[in-house]
Every structure is written in C-alpha cells, then in structure tokens.
Chains A and B, each alone.
Chain A
C-alpha cells in the first residue's frame, strides 16, 4: 500500500495559484500530519519512551544493562521467546490464508453474501477477555469440545487439551482462539485490497485462458502485496502482544513475552524488568516490520498509471 500511495502524482501541480503562498506548499503534508503526530507523541510516544528508558536504569536511576542481563537469565525467558515465535509462525500464515480464502469467497457472487460477511465480523465485537473465557470453556477438560467428542463416542475420556504438559494441545488451543479473535480485521484489510484491484485485469486474464487458480496467483496476489504488507505489519505487532488469550487458556503453562512483562510489572512490581521485556518486544516487532517492508517491496512500475 505504501508504494501504491507513493506512486500517485502529487495533486495540484497545475491547479495551484502559485505565487504568494508557494513557500507553504512543501510544508502542507507536514502540517496535515502534525496534529496526529503531536497527539500520538503526547499521549503515547512520550510516555512510552520514558517507560522504555527505565529498562536501562537501576531503581536509583543510574544507567545499567543489568536489567537486560537479568532478563536473559530469567526463569522461562528462553521458553517465552520460543513460544512467542512459535505462536506467531503458526497464527500469522494461518490467519492470512483463511482471511484470503474468506475474501475470495466473499468476492464470488454467493447468495447470502451479506449474511456470511456479517457473521464473519462477529469476533470484532468480542473483547479478548470474553474470547479467552469462551475458548477456555471449549477446551477445558470438562468443556464443550470434550463433551461433543464424548457424545459422538469419538473418545471415552476427556482429552487434556490444556494440560501444561500437552504443549501441542496448548498451542492448538491458543492458535484456534487467537485466530478466531482477530481474523475479522485481517479479512477486512485483505478485502479492501482485493476490491481495489481493477476487475479488467482479472477479466483480461480469463480471456487469455487463465484458470481461477492462475488468476489468483498471477494477478490477484501480486497486486495484493502492498495490502498484505500493511496487514502483516499491523497483525504481527499485535500478535507479539498476545496476552489475554494465552493467560486465560494456559495460565503458566505457555509463557510468552507479554505475560512475562505483565508478571514483572504487576506481580513483582519491578518496572525495570517489565520495561526490559517491553524493549525486547519492541525490538522484535520492529525487526519483523522492517523485514516485511524489505521482502514485500513492490516495484514501482506495477503501479504507473
């Protein structure tokens, strides 16, 4: 999306009156962005910078790397890093694949499309607390899933999905719950991208004999790259923060970076250590974001109009 935007010619080259206020013109985009930037800086960035800096301070205020060192040697540090990445590596591709499928389904002229789309947006209405609650009641050993399996005589005894020793079970549960909870946003982002693809391109491809699948992979997907880039960046940064669902479903069974942050902040009330974890999370988020920006860079030529 960013490259698409960048390629649009600047409006008003021919239409501006020129002269007296020409000096203002280069400043216009900055002036437009300024209110948002100031707002974000005041309410989020400045408090965040101060909070993040604490990671490099002792309780007394002296500069130190001790918190970061302590973090690396912390209980469950390696485990929480591993779990965070494992969850990310499964949830993100899965969500995007399903959301792509959903978007394509919605584009094809199904009857009842409106109903489907309304239902598919339900998870938007559900807070992560409620999502954690209901998915816990599904996966818990005397919960709905085991009830259904036992009623259907598929199993004789409840399966311990949420047993802390059952790491695959825990991951399946968290993936299911997280995917369900956040897929609507991804679907909307992808649908917006698909709708922006001019229909002539797809028709031209089908005239040339391309099958539906080839149309999808050779026309739709490449043109979707900018949208996917933004969607991936947004979804990944929030996925690093996955917390409420993991806590509700696993307790201490599947530590992740966000639960460690919360434990240090609210459990041990050591904001230096919590900030250290937050700094790590921010670093990882930024690295992955930059990776997306580089790997999914669309050549400008695609969009020259």
Chain B
C-alpha cells in the first residue's frame, strides 16, 4: 500500500475508535458451546499495575474457553529474553505474548514468532483490522508476526489549576509549542516552580522521549521523522525544546509516567502516553483535562502506537494460543481489555460505549478523534524495516536528547554525530523511509 495512503489509513483507524463506521463484529459466543482449549500461557508487557492485572484475569479473560494465565510480571525486555532463550533451546512455555510494536522488532528479526497469516485470514472473515496496523504487524517482512490487539496515542494532561496561567488568546485544544512554553513561563513567574512534565526517565524500558521526538517534535517542526534529523528546522526544534525544558520540572529525568507527579503536584501539565495518565485521570476526574499535543510550524505531528499479539514458534499450545487471539479481538473483549489497561480497540466498528468504558477513556478517545480530524496533522508512523537495529535506532534519539538537553552539548555537533549513527543503522538494515518522510528508493537518506 502506498505510504501516503498508509498514513491516511492510520488516521482513519484512530477515527473509528470513537465514531465507528462499519458494522460491529459479533461479540463473544458463550464458552459452553466451544471446545476447551486448555492452558494458555499469556505473557504481556501491558497491564502491569496490580489492579489492571487483576481485572484482566477476573473480568476480561473469564469468558475464554480455556484457562489463560495472564502474566505481566516480567518487563518487556525480559519477555523478549525469555522467548529468545526458548527459541535457542527449541522448546518453551509461552503461548501468546503481547508487546508494543517496538519490542517485537528483535523477535521478528530472529524469526522467533509464528507466521499468523492464516489466522489473520480466518479472523478477517467476521472482523476488520485497519490495514495500517496489520502492516505494522509484518515488521517489514511478508510474514504476519503479530496481530494488532490494542492501540494508543500520546497527549497532554492539564491540571485545571494551571488554566489561570494560560496565555491570552491561546486555545487549550489547539496550542503551539511556543504557547506551551509561554504558559510554563507564566506559571514559573507566578509560582517560582517549573511545572511542565515530560517522562524523561532513561531507556531501559520506561522512556518515551524517543516517541516524543519521533512522533511529535520532529514532525511538527521538520515535517519528517528521520530525514530532517539534522536540518535547520531540526536545530530550531531543539532550540525550542531547550526553552521548553527550562520550564519543565527537573525531576522529570526520574519520571517514567506522569500520573504520580500530576497527583502529587510536582507537575501541572505535561505530555505522556495515554495509559500512563490513567491513574490521575481516574482518581481525580474533575481535576484534569486531556488535550492534543502541541503543534509546530509544520503542523500537528502525532504518532499512534500499537500493542500486538504473537505466538512464539516454541509455543506448546498453538491451538489454544490462536483461540485466545480470536477471543481477545472480539468486540466485547476489545472494549473490556482496552478499558482495563487504558488503550483503544483496534477492530473497526467497535465503539467505546457502555458502562464498561470509564469516562477518562472516552475523554482520551475524544483527543484521538481530534488528531484524526485535524487539518494540518502530520501522521508519524512507527519506524519500520530496521529489524534488529530498531532498538539502537531508538537509543540514538534518546542519546540526542540526553546530550543536547541534559548535557548542554552544541546542537548541530550532536545532530551531525547522531545522524551518522542513524544513517549507519538505516543503511545496514536497508530500511527505506516511512511516513511522514517521503518514500525513498533504497535505504532512507538523512539530508
């Protein structure tokens, strides 16, 4: 599918979350009429908070025609380690694994996962997955390594106490980065505190700074995700970020999520993954509002991320694994799982309605709809085609942030240095450019 159409499709995928369009697929059939598929070991990097894991087991998975153990103890990196070890040993225990797209790339590169093309074809008989998300699941190959399960995006959460400092004429639903900086400055002038928040904790697995750069800051200022990495527009963006950092809580380097700092009052407004704002929005619904991320000179850059379901090649209960994936992509489970971990459904036609859907998720869905409907949106796709080099690609963005913002190195020097590392990775993986960058013949070239 042509790359430009792909980004439109992605936006459409996000739109269907709240509006719906095609008729809804059938919901769960009763477990009594289906064969019991036995024990399924379901490992997930999502749903790690204690209450979420509990709900997954007690509410979402109870109707399954088998027994699924929902295991969210290990980190995503440890999940990848386990499956890698199982692949090396030739046998394993894990049946289904749910990871974010970025965590699957290593397993795809080492071909540790089953090709789920037949399963997908079977599922698509009665439900539709957005093409863009299905393409993500191929990890740049012809094989369907994972089936999309849930999706999410990033946004800003604002404590209503901060609204009094909003610069005149600024529309909180349509802010520019400069307005956000001005806002932060007026808060600082009034209270003496730096109250913007960014989850800048380092990249063992918590860090989201690379997504902020790839999906929000770079597209909004350069219109690209990677090709404009060291352009003049990029330098302008980094200068803006330095001004933004000057009004950001300096303890942000310890934040892996903003829900705690928002509740403790360390931060009055900030940018984060929608699921990591969840606790604050749920506990204090009248205190916070959610709005889209800011826009830059080139438009409103935003990125969606997807969590997928995959079956390792060493899975002992393949039939049960497939049944579980089938179960989790039915409309009722899409809603309940999404509501449990704070993500949106992926299956088209599944509407976020009903008492099962908490108000905060509806509010977040409203923000997602704003992204999709925005006229100057710059849709950034997740990096594709880098295979096993994806994580190092990520690290280069994090290192750039560390060096420019935290260690105050010269912007252009750092950009040139890190750009050469990125280029080496792109060339070695033979990865062509992906939206929002214009497509390329051969490896993507940073200008």
Contact = CB atoms under 8 A, between A and B. Distances in A.
Q: Do chains A and B touch in the complex (CB under 8 A)?
A: yes
Interface of A: 75-76, 79, 136, 140-142, 157, 160, 162-166, 247-253, 255, 259, 262-263, 265-270
Contact of B253 (A76, A252, A263, A268): A252
A251 B255 contact: yes
Nearest to A269: B391
B164 interface: no
Contacts of B80: 269
Nearest 5 CB-CB pairings of A with B: A266-B77, A163-B250, A252-B202, A251-B254, A251-B201
Contacts of A165: 250
A60 B202 CA distance: 28
Chain A CB count within 10 A is highest, among B202, B203, B399, for: B202
18 contacts: A76-B402, A79-B407, A141-B251, A141-B266, A157-B193, A160-B250, A163-B251, A164-B406, A250-B253, A250-B254, A251-B253, A251-B256, A252-B207, A253-B253, A263-B203, A266-B205, A267-B77, A267-B204
Given A164-B250, A267-B391, A269-B106, A157 B192 contact: yes
Interface in B1-20: none
Chain B CB count within 10 A is highest, among A75, A249, A259, A262, for: A75
Interface of B: 75, 77-78, 80, 106, 192-193, 200-205, 207, 249-251, 253-256, 264-266, 388, 391-392, 394-395, 398-399, 402-403, 406-407
A142 B264 contact: yes
Contacts of B201: 251-252
Contact of B406 (A141, A157, A160, A252): A252
A135 to B, nearest CB: 12
A164 B253 contact: yes
Nearest to A76: B402
Given A142-B265, A157-B192, A251-B202, A269 B388 contact: yes
Contacts of A266: 75, 77-78, 204-205
A268 B395 contact: yes
B4 to A, nearest CB: 31
Given A142-B264, A164-B250, A267-B394, 13 more contacts: A75-B399, A163-B251, A164-B406, A166-B250, A249-B254, A250-B254, A251-B254, A252-B207, A252-B406, A266-B75, A267-B203, A267-B398, A268-B391
Nearest to A259: B202
Name A's interface SS. Answer: loop
Given A142-B265, A157-B192, A259-B202, A162 B251 contact: yes
Contacts of A79: 407
A76 B254 CA distance: 17
Contacts of B77: 265-267, 269
Contacts of A141: 249, 251, 266
A160 B200 contact: no
Name B's interface SS. Answer: helix
B328 to A, nearest CB: 26
A248 B254 CA distance: 7
Contacts of A253: 253-254, 406
A17 B432 CA distance: 80
B292 to A, nearest CB: 26
A274 to B, nearest CB: 11
A79 B77 CA distance: 25
Given A164-B406, A268-B392, A136 B254 contact: yes
Chain B CB count within 10 A is highest, among A136, A252, A263, for: A252
Nearest to B409: A75
Contacts of A157: 192-193
Nearest to B392: A268
A148 to B, nearest CB: 16
B110 to A, nearest CB: 10
A265 B391 CA distance: 10
A268 B202 CA distance: 11
Chain A CB count within 10 A is highest, among B394, B402, B406, for: B406
A166 B392 CA distance: 29
A265 B201 CA distance: 17
Nearest to B193: A157
Contacts of B106: 269
Contacts of B250: 160, 163-166
Chain B CB count within 10 A is highest, among A76, A263, A269, for: A269
Contacts of A160: 250-251
B200 A263 contact: no
